[in-house]
A and B are shown apart, each in its own frame.
Chain A
Amino acid sequence: MSSRFINWFKFSSPATFYPLASKIAWVSTLIAIVLIAIGLYMSFFVAPTDYKQGDGYRIIFVHVPASWMSMFLYVVMAGWAALGLVFNTRLSAMMAQAIAPTGAMFAFLSLWTGSFWGKPMWGTWWVWDARITSELILLFLYLGYMALRSAIDDPRRGDRASAILLLVGVVNIPIIYYSVKWWNTLHQGSTIKLNEESSMDDTMLLAMLIMTLGFWAYSIAVAMVRVRTIILERERSSNWVRDLVRGEN
């Protein structure tokens, strides 16, 4: 095979991935800090006040990125879980495990910020609307995955059982996404459409996209740091981990 191709399987070994994860984490942290700083500045100082919703609409600059990330991270997790089932690689399951708490956090923040937007705009903190209910189910799927993963003592069995739960739960993602189309809900339709022009002011849209990219970089950074701790925990009896920790102390 030509040397131009990267041997991806090489990185499926936790020992090889461990130092690489540290580099990715540092770069992503820097990108996240810069993008979120620009995004926050634009959210408050550049984006204009909405003629209808006043300043309350600014909540979307955290609500929409958090909601997108909660769905996106679930799909990435399920992808890793599927890879783990097919190739039986330890690292894949560790990656899924590393993403889960961050995904759960974004699902919670999506509901929390949505609720803080709903009170002034709809006059209620909560409704059992299709979009909101399916997002709540997403939060439960994350929590269920984490509970199942930690309830099984044998890590390899835990990996497989929780991977199946993750894959079954993927069905919820299109339900969340299309809920505003399929049902006549209180939650408004998609702001950003793939095939039409957006209904938003350009600076508002740009601020939202920059915040989303910032949240994305944040998620990568946190997942990389967490996967390193999971690798250490799970490979703690191996010689390379012992040597590594001994070298640091």
Chain B
Amino acid sequence: MPEALDMGKHALYVWGSFGATALFMIAEPLLLRARARNIRKRIARMARLDQEVNQ
């Protein structure tokens, strides 16, 4: 580990803070992408059903 990343006695607190922030800021876009995909699929399904009913 590079010396600059050695937080000594404050390691738990520094990594606890940066870790939680990283976790949230990576998880949020991923969850959002999954949600966007689901919505698109649902709407496509609805559109197909409507088309079938109208035919």
Which residues of A approach B to under 8 Å, CB–CB?
Answer: 44-45, 54-56, 58-59, 62-63, 66, 101-102, 105, 108-109, 112-113, 116-117, 119-120, 218, 221-222, 225-226, 228-229, 232-233, 236, 241-242, 245-246, 248-249
Contact = CB atoms under 8 A, between A and B. Distances in A.
B10 A55 contact: yes
A62 B36 contact: no
B20 interface: yes
**Top 10 closest pairs, chain A to chain B, by CB:** A56-B10, A113-B17, A55-B7, A116-B17, A59-B17, A116-B13, A62-B21, A242-B47, A245-B43, A229-B36
Given A109-B24, A229-B32, A246 B17 contact: no
A225 B21 CA distance: 20
Contact of A117 (B13, B24, B28): B13
Chain B contact residues, majority secondary structure: helix
A232 B40 contact: yes
12 contacts: A44-B4, A55-B6, A58-B14, A62-B17, A109-B21, A116-B12, A116-B14, A228-B36, A229-B32, A229-B35, A246-B44, A248-B44
Most buried by B among A55, A246, A249: A55
Contacts of B39: 229, 232-233, 236
Given A56-B14, A117-B13, A120-B10, A246 B20 contact: no
Contacts of B43: 232, 236, 241-242, 245
Given A56-B10, A108-B24, A232-B36, 13 more contacts: A44-B4, A56-B7, A58-B18, A59-B18, A101-B28, A105-B28, A109-B24, A116-B12, A222-B28, A222-B32, A233-B39, A236-B39, A246-B47
Interface residues of B, number: 32
Nearest to A218: B25
B8 A55 contact: yes
A44 B47 contact: no
Nearest to A242: B47
Given A54-B8, A241-B43, A59 B20 contact: no
Contacts of B40: 232, 245, 248-249
A59 B35 contact: no
Contacts of A218: 25
A36 to B, nearest CB: 8
Contact of A249 (B14, B24, B29, B44): B44
Nearest to B47: A242
Interface in B27-53: 28-29, 32-33, 35-36, 39-40, 42-44, 46-47, 50
